[in-house]
Structure 1
Amino acid sequence: MNMENRKEELIIANAKLAFQNQEKEEKAAELVIANKELLFQNQEKKKRATELIISNKELASQNQEKRNRAAELILANKELDFQNQEKQNRATELITANKVLALQNQEKQNRADELIIANKKLDFQNQEKKDRAAELLIANIELAFQNQEKEKRAAELIIANKELLFQNKEKEKRAAELVIADKELASQNQEKEDRAAELFIANIELAYQNQEKENRAAELIVANKELLFQNKEKENRAAELVIANKELASQNQEKEKRAAELVIANKELLFQYKEKVKRAQELLNANIELKKAQEYQKEYILGIEKVIFMTSHKVRQPIANILGLSELLDLSKDSKLEITQTLDYIKTSAQSLDVLTKELNAYIIELRQKAKNMLL
């Protein structure tokens, strides 16, 4: 009875052992399948990490290009500032020259004898101003061309940003493809579980290999731990890549802001350029008015000279006659008839003086009218 009981216990123990071995074989098979899946997933992750590295290098290259273009824009802005400073200096020189001209005009009014020489100097200075005004116009045309170049570069920056957005959309599509691939892996896992159920029957025949499989299972457990550690490292690196991509996106936003600031600065430069054109036009108008004033001065001085001539010659003669006849009357002891003739001469001289005075007055009125017309 004891032997039969022991045999039954051994049979039960063997059945349990066979069942345990079968479970171990199933688990070992599942571990082998899981290891293969992990290797496949690791290869996919390596491929995706490589793709991310390549895309990051492309982004870095594009960012470098944007930095170079921004540096070129900054250099162009500095050149524009320098040219604007040169134009301001020339405008200051023009204002100073105009003040000098005004002072010279004041001196010309006091020095009528030196008018001809001063007018020649003034014509030469006006020619110099015309040349400078022409230089200002040429510089303004160059400034407009440089502004157009800046607008083109800003447009290139906008196109580069659009390309970056397109690449980001491509990455999102790849992430969606990864999600789909994960779903496919889950489906494959389900199929593998079904196959594992089929392998359950085949594992009964492999009971005698349990010891070796247990050793191999232990090795596989160690390898799985190493794979898990490597997967965690890869996930950490992928997280770092995501953070780096976010930082790149933030830098791109900062560059867009700087590009917008550069556009605003270009608009301000255009406004300043227009103001300078207006001031140059005002200076040209002032020079034209100055020429008119100089022509008026010439006419006025010629009129004054004519008035002086009339005063010193034509008006002086009847006055001298009157004075001479008056002295003759004082010294004369002639008859009444001679005195009457002398008074007639005086009257004739006075009438002649009156006519000359009226002519002189009419000429002065005409001279004033000409001055008003010239100033208008």
Structure 2
Amino acid sequence: MKPTKEQDILKESIALMETKLARKLILANKKSVSKNEEIEINSKDLILVNNELGLQYKERGILTAELILANKNLAFQYEEKEKRASELVIANIELAYQNEEKEKRASELAIANHELVFQNEEKEKRAVELIIANKELAFQKLEKDIRSSELIVANKKLIFKSQEREIRKAELKILNRDLKIAEENQKEYVRGLEEMMFMTSHRVRQPIANIIGFSNILDQSINSPDDLKKAIASIKESALTLDAFTRELTTFICKLGRKGNNKKGK
């Protein structure tokens, strides 16, 4: 350990006192040698000096003990200072590290601020774009509403047209049904006409042919009243057959006419 200024001052004061005492002893010895007579006189002074030296030695011991204590105290303080110095070094290193971290954070904050400024600018741009987009969406919504109203009108027209088509389909079904019925009636009418023609060509012509034949017999070969009676009876029978068929044909023609009238009414 290095001595402090206080220790140096104490040592110098002690050295000065020792030198003073040594000088006094030297002078005293010289006086005792040169002046034996004065020994007795000066013995008292020497006793006083010795007493003073004893006191000084005692003081010196006290000072030495105090110096030892002061040195111990100084050593303790020096150790404390070294500890504090090491702690200060560590604290300085920590502060330097913290300053570096602060600088890094400051640079990061600066970068983050630039980034925030850029983001704010981007947000403002996007806000403007969103406003424009919202206006565009509002315009598109208006157009959609107009188109939806037009579509509703068109749908109503389509529904009306589809209803008209359904009505027309129903009418066509009814017409087709009526046409089928009319075709059936026409076929029945044609069949009736064909049957009437068949009946006319067979059932009418047969009695007429019989009447003609019996008339020719009457003209040519009537020799007796019995033959005349037979011929007249045959003619009468053919006439009655022709009359019955004529009535039946009249009834058939009336029925066929009613079917025709029903067909026209429908």
Provide TM-score, normalisation by structure 2: 0.46
Provide TM-score, normalisation by structure 1: 0.34
Q: Which has the larger radius of gyration?
A: 2
Q: Which has the higher contact order (CA 8 A, sep 6+)?
A: 1
